[in-house]
């Protein structure tokens, strides 16, 4: 095979790559593209290693009477799954079978999974791990701007801005090549990072390149209300924009009047003077004041909160007051995390949505989609349970008794993970499709081996709403099958109506028809067109004549709301679900390291990444460490009411003295999600990963010292062997 142009398997930046299979493996190189400009991070460069993971799943596994997983044939495994599902449905009803998807699935798979759940299984109970990532940003954008596209503008636009306010995003670690687009703001001294840690991203503001606001965890909403307060109090708002393009500013203005900077300082620990300086910096960059543009960008740090939707709405309110959204060179956006975190939320994996962002309880939407699927709209189930509620209901009276998991490693990635593990263990049947034996797959009753990125065709929609082609570079090893094939086989065994294509191009064509007329309209797109035009952003509806050029920038002519105006949504602070108290005096925040992705199921199988980042750790301030007699490298135990975790200490003043930080990529004893809170946002159902209260103690004396410089790694380009 020759060199293939595709995109990285990991995050939502979807850096462009060229894969060249050779006699000894697949060579990865960065490819010029507007977003990554040829760059890749260490994860991207080493991504081919996962193709030859030594423990790659190649045969279906079924748990035998001895309690062990044993290899079997596809026929046996599929027959077994279908038979069990059919029996369960007959005995307990269709909703007794649930489906859990992932934001890493291609658009085609995300779409087909939603269809499979509703048509073949007839269950309302489908949701996905994007509920953990993007649901608050989505809910906030929908209620304010009328549509949810993470960045409603090309990422390259950010490069021209004079100011960028980045809240709860550590993109210097999570998507390093994106940092290049902050260069303009940094040169203008206009990068403002809001993070309780001096993260790698916060350090980008050093030396006059911007400001770092280091709030107490769980107070981001107050910070945003304070910034809005200053903008309105000092008359820095864009009054013409607000009166012509928005509604509802009055209630929001009144609420902001209750959050003057000194009050915000008391709650957040961010000095009032710094809040004023930030507001003025943003205003000076706004188009109304002659600036070259300003962006307000949110990430999981502020969204994974039980008031995440309100926080994002506060960010949008600030952007609206400054007159940013819908203007070239300015705006609000959410920095999507998972590889297909954008596309994955558009096409029917969500418990309340059908393809194209259609709502499952909208009769018109049901009729349209049922028409494409060739079924009676009345047979489509209604709203299912959102992820945290769904997982909690597993194996309970009236809850699902079987779960199919695709593209998720719940035992590591779900909040309050020990509880989730117990619910998974309570199921009668757990079926996991995966590439490697993930922690969740190892506890399944049936494991089905599937294809990975370079072995399949499909599309991904990046953080900026650009639809990208994922292309096959190598043949998969014998054994694994595409999930599209798995669903066709199961649908046939379940005697489901409709067509179940296995060619991704055909599935995409069906997706395009199903999404047509919806908010995320892919009607004018096809694999063939995407192959010819790599810069198409949705919505891109079908046309009779000249093809629609796609929509790089939303809102330039208006907002997709009934009156065409954006809405100020008045939001107030309620505080985190769990605040520090005498018995749990430290805040815990979680996040990522550069070398690992999500639950680490892929990256923990890459030697180079493991060498650079071998295990979990706890960042702890010298004062807090001293208080508990903790030295660098000592094992630190963090305990919340849900569980506890232990990892070696990194003593550093890059974290607040009242806060500890731990990355979440590791399983078992090092899984911080055993401790995190599964309290959810009332609007989005998103859990509060990012703040909870813990006790800190020293578990034992030091072992190795992770504060020491990272080990030297071999930097020759890794090449993956082409499987036979």
Give, as ranges, the residues between 163 and 182 that touch other proteins (CB under 8 A). 172, 176-180
Provide the H-helix boundaries in 546-629.
607-612, 622-627
Stretch that binds other proteins, among 87-95, 365-373, 506-514, 570-578 (CB under 8 A): 570-578
Contact call for residue 514 and other proteins (CB under 8 A): no
**Between 258 and 543, whose beta carbon lies closer to other proteins?**
258
Q: Is 361 in the site for other proteins (CB under 8 A)?
A: no
The single residue among 253, 345, 481, 637 that binds other proteins, judged by CB under 8 A, is 253
Closest CA to 103 of 336, 415, 382, 391: 336
Residue 425 makes contact with other proteins by CB under 8 A: no
The Cα 595–Cα 577 span in angstroms is 31
**With binding defined as CB under 8 A, does residue 709 bind other proteins?**
yes
Window 651-690: residues binding other proteins (CB under 8 A):
652-654, 657-658
**Checking DSSP bridges between strand 446-449 and strand 163-167, what pairing results, if any?**
unpaired
Based on the shown chain and the rule CB under 8 A, indicate whether residue 208 belongs to the binding site for other proteins. Answer: no
Quick check: 583 binds other proteins (CB under 8 A)?
Answer: no
Structure tokens at 482: 């595409």
Q: Which stretch binds other proteins (CB under 8 A): 484-492, 541-549, 663-671, 704-712?
A: 704-712
Q: Does 41 bind other proteins (CB under 8 A)?
A: yes
Give Cα 173 distance to the centre of its chain: 15
| Contact residue for other proteins among 95, 573, 619, 670 (CB under 8 A) | 573
Per CB under 8 A, does 245 bind other proteins? Answer: no
Query: Residue 362 interacts with other proteins (CB under 8 A)?
Result: no
161 φ, ψ to 5°?
A: -80, 150
* Contacts of residue 41, Cβ cutoff 8 Å, sequence gap at least 6: 15, 175, 176, 177, 594
CB-nearer residue toward other proteins: 17 or 107: 17
**Of positions 198, 282, 365, 638, contacts other proteins by CB under 8 A:** 198
Full DSSP string of 399-442: S-SEEEEES--HHHHSSSHHHHHHHHHT-SEEEEEESS--TTGG
Collapse the DSSP code of 717 into the 3-class scheme (helix H, G, I; strand E, B; otherwise coil) and give the result: coil
- List 137, 594, 638, 722, residue binding other proteins (CB under 8 A): 594
| 203/393 with CB nearer other proteins | 203
Decide: is 369 part of the binding site for other proteins (CB under 8 A).
Answer: no
E strands, 175-263, where?
A: 191-194, 210-213, 246-247
Does the protein bind other proteins through residue 713 (CB under 8 A)? yes
Residue 646 lies near other proteins (rule: CB under 8 A): no
The token duo for 13 is: 């930046």
Q: Binder to other proteins among 189, 575, 614, 615 (CB under 8 A)?
A: 575
| Contact residue for other proteins among 4, 80, 233, 284 (CB under 8 A) | 233
Q: 231 vs 285, which CB is nearer to other proteins?
A: 231
Distance CA 193, CA 73 (A): 52
- The correct pick among 531, 574, 607, 668 for binding other proteins (CB under 8 A) is 574
- Return d(Cα 248, Cα 263) in angstroms, integer: 24
Between CA 490 and CA 497 the distance in angstroms is: 12
Using the 8-state DSSP alphabet, how is residue 721 labeled?
P
In the complex, minimum distance from the CB of residue 622 to other proteins, in angstroms, rounded to a whole number: 8
18 lies in the binding site for other proteins (CB under 8 A): no
Pick from 646, 138, 676: nearest CA to 414: 676
First to last CA, the chain: 13
Q: CB–CB of 535/528 below 8 Å?
A: no
Interaction between residue 703 and other proteins (CB under 8 A) = no
Count of positions on this chain that bind other proteins (CB under 8 A): 77
Q: Are 16 and 29 in contact (CB under 8 A)?
A: no
- Is the distance from CB of 157 to CB of 329 less than 8 angstroms? yes
What is the per-residue binding string for other proteins in 272-301, x denoting contact by CB under 8 A?
xxx---------------------------
Q: Residue 225, interface with other proteins (CB under 8 A)?
A: no
What 3-state class would DSSP assign to 565?
coil
Considering only the stretches 226-234, 363-371, 428-436, 449-457, report the one whose residues sit in contact with other proteins under the rule CB under 8 A: 226-234
Radius of gyration in angstroms for the set of CA atoms belonging to the chain, rounded to a whole number: 24
Each residue 595-614 as x (binds other proteins by CB under 8 A) or -, in order, gives x------------x---x--
Question: CB of 235: closest distance to other proteins in angstroms?
Answer: 5
| Residue (69 or 270) nearer to other proteins, CB | 270
Q: From the CB of 475, what's the least distance to other proteins, in Å?
A: 27
Cβ at position 276, least distance to other proteins in Å:
9
Q: Applying CB under 8 A, does 482 fall inside the site for other proteins?
A: no
Beta strands of 629-711 (E only): which ranges? Answer: 635-639, 644-651, 659-663, 692-700
Closer to other proteins by Cβ: residue 5 or 379: 5
Q: In angstroms, rounded to a whole number, what is the distance separating the alpha carbons of residues 381 and 387?
A: 17
575: tokens are: 């505080």
Phi, psi at 330, each rounded to 5°:
-145, 170
Among 21, 25, 30, 407, which residue interacts with other proteins (rule: CB under 8 A)? 30
Pair 61, 439: CB distance under 8 Å? no
Q: Does 11 bind other proteins (CB under 8 A)?
A: no
> Would you count residue 412 as binding other proteins (CB under 8 A)?
no
Near other proteins by CB under 8 A, which window of 80-88, 187-195, 435-443, 582-590?
582-590
Choices 34-42, 369-377, 546-554, 661-669; region in contact with other proteins by CB under 8 A: 34-42
Question: How far is it, in rounded angstroms, from Cα 82 to Cα 162?
Answer: 57
């Amino acid at each position: 095979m020759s060199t293939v142009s595709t995109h990285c398997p990991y995050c939502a930046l979807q850096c462009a790559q060229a894969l060249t299979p050779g006699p000894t493996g697949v060579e990865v190189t960065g490819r010029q593209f507007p977003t990554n400009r040829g760059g890749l991070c260490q994860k991207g460069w080493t991504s081919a290693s996962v193709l030859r993971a030594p423990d790659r799943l190649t045969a279906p596994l079924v748990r035998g009477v001895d309690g062990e997983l044993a290899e079997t044939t596809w026929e046996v495994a599929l027959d077994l799954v279908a038979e069990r599902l059919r029996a369960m449905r007959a005995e307990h009803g269709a909703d007794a079978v649930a489906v859990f998807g992932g934001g890493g699935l291609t658009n085609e798979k995300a779409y087909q999974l939603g269809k499979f759940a509703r048509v073949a299984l007839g269950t309302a109970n489908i949701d996905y791990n994007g509920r953990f990532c993007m649901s608050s940003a989505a809910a906030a954008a929908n209620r304010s701007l009328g549509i949810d596209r993470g960045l409603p503008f090309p990422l390259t636009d950010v490069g021209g801005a004079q100011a960028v306010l980045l809240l709860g995003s550590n993109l210097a670690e999570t998507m390093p090549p994106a940092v290049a687009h902050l260069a303009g703001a940094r040169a203008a001294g206009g990068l403002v990072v809001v993070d309780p840690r001096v993260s790698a991203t916060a350090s980008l503001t050093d030396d006059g390149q911007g400001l770092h606001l280091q709030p107490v965890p769980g107070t981001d909403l107050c910070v945003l209300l304070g910034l809005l307060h200053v903008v309105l109090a000092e008359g820095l708002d864009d009054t013409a924009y607000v009166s012509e393009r928005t509604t509802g500013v009055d209630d929001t203005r009144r609420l902001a009047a209750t959050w003057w900077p000194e009050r915000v300082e008391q709650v957040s620990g961010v000095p009032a003077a710094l809040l004023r300086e930030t507001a003025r910096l943003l205003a000076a960059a706004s188009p109304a004041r002659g600036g070259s543009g300003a962006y307000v960008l949110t990430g999981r740090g502020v969204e994974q909160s039980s008031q995440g939707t309100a926080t994002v709405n506060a960010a949008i309110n600030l952007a609206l007051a400054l007159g940013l959204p819908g203007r070239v060179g300015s705006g609000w956006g959410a920095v999507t995390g998972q590889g297909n975190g954008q596309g994955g939320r558009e096409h029917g994996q969500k418990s309340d949505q059908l393809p194209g962002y259609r709502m499952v309880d909208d009769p018109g939407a049901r009729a349209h989609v049922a028409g494409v699927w060739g079924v009676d709209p009345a047979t489509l189930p209604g709203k299912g349970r959102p992820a945290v509620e769904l997982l909690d209901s597993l194996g309970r009276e009236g809850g699902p008794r079987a779960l199919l998991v695709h593209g998720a490693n719940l035992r590591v990635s779900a909040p309050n993970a020990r509880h989730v593990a117990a619910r998974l263990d309570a199921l009668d049947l757990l079926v996991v499709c995966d590439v490697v034996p993930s922690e969740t797959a190892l506890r399944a009753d049936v494991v089905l081996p599937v294809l990975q990125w370079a072995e399949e065709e499909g599309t991904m929609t990046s953080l900026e709403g650009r639809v990208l082609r994922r292309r096959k570079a190598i043949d998969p090893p014998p054994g694994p099958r595409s999930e599209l094939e798995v669903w066709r086989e199961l649908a046939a065994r379940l005697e489901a109506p409709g067509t179940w294509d296995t060619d991704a191009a055909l599935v995409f064509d069906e997706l395009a028809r199903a999404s047509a007329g919806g908010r995320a309209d892919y009607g004018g797109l096809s694999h063939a067109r995407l192959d010819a035009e790599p810069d198409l952003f949705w919505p891109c509806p079908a046309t009779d004549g000249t093809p629609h050029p796609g929509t790089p920038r939303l809102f330039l002519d208006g907002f997709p709301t009934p009156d065409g105006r954006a809405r100020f949504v008045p939001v107030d602070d309620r505080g985190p679900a769990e605040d520090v108290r005498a018995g749990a005096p430290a805040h815990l925040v979680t996040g990522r390291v550069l070398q690992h992705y999500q639950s680490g199921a892929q990256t923990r199988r890459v030697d180079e990444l493991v060498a650079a980042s071998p295990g979990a750790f706890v960042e702890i301030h010298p004062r807090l460490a001293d208080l508990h007699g903790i030295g660098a490298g000592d094992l630190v135990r963090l305990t919340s009411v849900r569980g506890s975790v232990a990892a070696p200490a990194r003593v550093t003043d890059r974290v607040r003295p009242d806060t500890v930080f731990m990355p979440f990529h590791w399983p078992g004893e090092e899984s911080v999600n055993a401790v995190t809170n599964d309290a959810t946002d009332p609007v989005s159902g998103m859990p509060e990963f990012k703040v909870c209260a813990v006790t800190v103690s020293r578990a034992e004396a030091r072992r190795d010292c992770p504060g020491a410089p990272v080990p030297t790694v071999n930097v020759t380009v890794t090449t993956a062997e082409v499987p036979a």
